[in-house]
Structure 1
Amino acid sequence: MSVRAKKHLGQHFLKDESIASKIADSLSFEGYQHVLEIGPGMGVLTKYLLKKDKTIWVVEIDPESIDYLKGHYLHLSDRIINADFLKMDLAAQFNNEPIAIIGNFPYNISSQIVFKSIACRDQIPEFSGMFQKEVALRIAAGPGSKTYGILSVLTQAFYDVEYLFSVPPTVFNPPPRVDSGVIRLVRKKDYQLQVDVAFFFRVVKTAFNQRRKTLRNSLKSLQISDKLKEDVIFAQRPEQLSVEQFLELTKRLEEDGI
């Protein structure tokens, strides 16, 4: 018995055992007991996670995959969660205990998985997984890069990001039309921002919504005072600013009464 890959769920099942093992080894497994795998499919990664001395959970939305996992991983059956990760209440599910996130993520919701994890950052000290390579590079990109944007800044404000390795389409069934990349996020020791987080998100998103314009123009909707707009930082484009500069910009906008 095998599971049929469903296009609407973005399923591409990894079939290379060595890559599954490398992804499982990409977490440190330090500082937490629980590990949550998103979208386990037929359990190629799950198998290697279960060898770790941790409590492994999986969340899967596909009933066919759940039936397969229950039939092949009997000792995991009470830790198979039939749910949409994006709608999960992680605090309630894990009683506010820290958890690590891992998975070969469905590419159609991979960015949303990152944003959800950022929102739950107090509970998620570590995160590792496979993305479409373009998205993985975007998350890891630094300032000055064309791929540097909202996802880069908001992730790197809270996590140190490391691009680990690339994966070709041939190791999947069915093969995707793109290369894949595995990245690891490790929460920063001091990840509490010294600004209003919701406002910081708003500043970053507003700036990059018109990324080719200078900040003086892209942030026009924030009604910045003429005096503050004279600052040299507003002559720059958003992709030129580091995460620290975005935080400093947010702080100065707050002080300007915005």
Structure 2
Amino acid sequence: MSAIDRLPPLREVIATHELSAKKSLGQNFLLDLNLTAKIARQAGDLTGCDVLEVGPGPGGLTRGLLAEGARRVLAVEKDPRCMAALAEISAEYPDRLEVINADALDLDVTAHLTPPIRVVANLPYNVGTELLVRWLTPAQWPPFWDSLTLMFQKEVAERIVAQPGSKTYGRLAILSQWRAEAKIVMTLPPEAFTPPPKIHSAVVHLTRRETPLFPADYKVLSRVVAAAFNQRRKMLRASLKGVAPNIEEVLKEAGLEPTLRAEQVSIEGFCALARAVAGKG
């Protein structure tokens, strides 16, 4: 599959440009172009879409996205060492790849992209969750993206798709599933990467909901959920006592027993609670 284009294999690219992965940047490179093309395909038909990729590194996934027909790719890479390798890909795919040497946390990408937009990325481990939360919490909904196809540490992926009653169910699951449909579409072993991380990885595909699953004010919902899971072993009447006066009455108004614990409450339940708390404000 290294023949998806006329560019050299990734191991050769890394050797040529001396791109040893930096732990400080959360880098673990995928060298198998079979895998990078498979990840690209998890995002669906890309032919009519602009794609945002964060942390392309030597460009394995970038090449997969372009080979799979992405209309245009915006690759945001913090590591200046990768610019020469990415420039070679840009030359192979004229006018279809824009590379920006920047920190994705500091960049407004919307000025560089034309809808419909999909985000596909093997996210650096050290910023993956923060980027996901930002993409799920814009000032206006629906967001700039139609879907997110993102690689995380497997334990993070499991938190995103977790269901009530499980130990992994928490703030990330509620936020992700309230505003998007989320599913794990691939898992990858450590040996798929260079250098191999100590953990397995997984690709999560999130498709935005045009409107959230249940009505609630995001800021109130976020505050309620944070308080509940910050003390997840306590009953709601204890963990939420600082959220609203007469919290037991508010819980009952939302249809929730005060003796429940956070992990027992569905997204619908938390949204009802957020509405009840907002009504007391």
Note whether the superposition's TM-score is higher than 0.5.
yes
Comparing 21-30 with 207-216, which one deviates more in the overlay?
21-30
Q: 1:212 aligns with which of 222, 233, 237?
A: 233
For the structure 1 residues 106 and 238, does the alpha-carbon distance in structure 2 shift closer, same or farther, using more than 3 Å as the test?
A: same
- Bigger relative contact order, structure 1 or 2 (CA pairs below 8 A, ≥6 apart): 1
Alignment pair present for 1:88 and 2:88: no
Task: State the shift of 1:72 in Å.
Answer: 3.8
Match of 2:77 in 1: 60
Match of 2:265 in 1: 241
Matched, 1:73 2:94: no
Matches for 1:165-204 after TM superposition, within 5 Å: 165-191=186-212, 194-204=215-225
RMSD value, Cα: 2.1
Q: In 2, are the aligned partners of 1:57 and 1:76 still within 8 Å (CA)?
A: no
1:21 aligns with 2:56: no
Query: Cα offset for 1:130?
Result: 1.1
Distance in 1, matches of 2:229 and 2:182, equals: 20
1:7-44: per-residue Cα shift (whole Å, max 9, x none)?
Answer: 10010000122221111001124796211011111111
- Kindly indicate whether residue 49 of structure 2 is the aligned counterpart of residue 33 of structure 1: yes
**TM-score, length basis structure 2:** 0.85
Q: Is the 8 A contact 1:32 1:100 kept in 2?
A: no
Distance 1:226 1:113 in 2: 33
Confirm or deny that 1:112 pairs with 2:135: no
Mapped partners of 2:239, 2:177: distance in 1: 21
Contiguous gaps of at least 5 residues in structure 1 = none
% same residue: 37
Helix, strand or coil for the counterpart of 1:107?
A: coil
TM-score, normalised on structure 1? 0.92
Name which of 125, 147, 161 aligns with 2:182: 161
**CA distance in structure 2 between the aligned counterparts of 1:78 and 1:100, rounded to whole angstroms:** 14
3-state DSSP of counterpart to 2:136:
helix
Structure 2 gap ranges (5+): 1-15
Q: Relative to structure 1, is the Cα distance of residues 31 and 112 closer, same or farther in structure 2, using a 3 angstrom cutoff?
A: farther
- Number of residues paired by the alignment? 256
Amino acid at match of 1:110: G
